[in-house]
Amino acid sequence: MIEAILFDFDGTIADTAPDLGYALNRQLIARGFSPLPIEQIRTQASAGSRGLLNLGFNLKPGDSEYETMRDEFLRFYAERLCHETRLFPGIVAVLDRLEVDHLPWGIVTNKPARFTRPLTHALGLEQRAACIISGDETTNTKPHPEPLLTACRHINVSPQNCIYVGDDIRDVKASLAAGIKPIVARYGYLGSDAPPESWGADHIIDRPEELLNYL
């Protein structure tokens, strides 16, 4: 029996790619490079600064310039945090229905709290969510199961009675490790070369409203 629904944030509840892409393209333009199209940015948006710096500059954690470039990226992102970010079409209707049915829902994201909190507030989610677990609020981040298990404790629900909806393979890995049923949001960013059908999820949805059909 499903007693609670947990969601990833970037690429699942909110389309944050335009504002994340702005930060990356600002860095590219400042260094004489052409900006990247939003379609290319979307593929790495779920991975945040790490994925986008790899996309734009082939930089990885541990590279000599990585920390400086990440700090600059995050500063640019913070300056334009919710300019073009929007909830995905259909998300509001899904959350409304969950609340009518008295199914608590929460957010579990690798995004740091300094971005998650103002974003969820601006999008009208902060007071509605039963829990919001950000990436720097647990010792480990996804694909480790700790953030999801922490959310289950906050909501007071057993993992086996919970669903996690996400758009990245690490969301599925974290779910399975936590004993939670994973659902892939194929309308999201899907930052993996492997097709979502191969990730091992319980179900795949192409629109948020399809979650209600699954339930």
**What is the span of the domain harbouring residue 58?**
17-79
Evaluate whether 18 touches 38 at the Cβ level (below 8 Å).
yes
Say what the pLDDT of residue 46 is: 87
Catalytic site includes residue 63:
no
Q: Which one from 10, 15, 168, 171 is the annotated catalytic residue?
A: 10
What's at 178, amino acid-wise?
A: A
Q: Where among 54, 79, 104 does a domain terminate?
A: 79
What are the C-alpha distances in Å from 129 to residues 14, 74, 82, 88? 14, 25, 19, 16
Residues facing residue 6 across a β-bridge: 106, 164
Q: What is the dihedral of CA 74, 28, 12, 210, to 10 degrees?
A: 170
For residues 116 and 178, membership in a common domain is answered with yes
CATH of the domain at 158: 3.40.50.1000
Per-residue model confidence (pLDDT) at position 191:
82
Residues 51 and 130 in one domain: no
Q: Are residues 61 and 144 in the same domain?
A: no
> Under a CB-based contact definition with an 8 Å cutoff, are residues 2 and 215 in contact?
yes
How many domains are there within the chain? 2
* One domain for residues 39 and 145: no
92 and 169: one domain? yes
Are 118 and 193 in the same domain? Answer: yes
Distance CA 125, CA 25 (A): 28
Q: How far apart are CA 135 and CA 108, in angstroms?
A: 8
Considering the domain architecture, whether residues 70 and 104 belong to the same structural domain is answered as: no
Q: Which of 45, 64, 79 is where one domain is finished? A: 79
Catalytic residue (choose from 8, 15, 19, 168): 8
State residue 168's pLDDT score. Answer: 95
99 and 128 inside one domain: yes
146 and 97 housed in the same domain: yes
Please tell me whether residues 125 and 53 are part of one structural domain. no
Alpha-carbon gap, residue 27 to 69, rounded angstroms:
8
- Please tell me whether residues 35 and 116 are part of one structural domain: no
Instruction: Establish whether 8 is a catalytic residue.
Output: yes
Judgement on whether residues 177 and 202 belong to the same structural domain of the protein: yes
Domain stop point among 61, 79, 97: 79
Question: pLDDT 10s digit of each residue in the chain, 215 long?
Answer: 999 999 999 999 999 999 999 999 999 999 999 999 999 999 999 889 999 999 999 999 999 999 999 999 999 999 999 999 999 999 999 999 999 999 999 999 999 999 999 999 999 999 999 999 999 999 999 999 999 999 999 999 999 999 999 999 999 999 999 999 999 999 999 987 799 999 999 999 999 999 999 99
E-only strand ranges, the chain: 4-7, 14-15, 86-87, 105-108, 131-133, 162-166, 181-185, 203-205
